[in-house]
Amino acid sequence: MSGIALRRVSDMACLEHGLSIIVPRKPSERSKRTVYPKRKSYREEIRESIDICMEQKPKDMEELIKLIQEMGYEIKRGYSKKFFEEQKEQAEKQRTTEQTL
């Protein structure tokens, strides 16, 4: 059964039972997708946190790292330093696990 035929059968069944039907509209008349609110990326949040720490004028990198850790970030040391919040990483792992299921 084609999509058009299926729609007609569905519309007839709805009308017989006193239900409403969806009035077909041209694509240009359809409502557009709603605008989603912009949210800050994790990178922007980390930048703002670093800026707040820099306002305290740490004397060296170790003091800056200590201030960042006090804000709730965990720092991975290696070739380059990585800043992330523990809860966000756990939430991200949970999201990717849920998507694979």
Q: Is the pTM of this model over 0.75?
A: no
In a domain, 71, yes or no: yes
Domain extent for 65: 42-100
Quote the CA–CA distance of 39 and 48 in Å, as a whole number: 14
Dihedral (Cα; 89, 93, 98, 101), 10-degree rounding:
170
In a domain, 56, yes or no: yes
In a domain, 77, yes or no: yes
In a domain, 11, yes or no: no
In a domain, 29, yes or no: no
Structure tokens at 35: 């605008």
pLDDT digits (tens, 9 = 90+) for 2-25: 888 998 999 999 999 999 988 888
pLDDT digits (tens, 9 = 90+) for 36-85: 778 888 888 889 988 999 998 889 888 988 888 888 888 777 666 666 66
In a domain, 13, yes or no: no
In a domain, 20, yes or no: no
Q: What is the number of structural domains in the chain?
A: 1
Confidence (pLDDT) at 17: 93
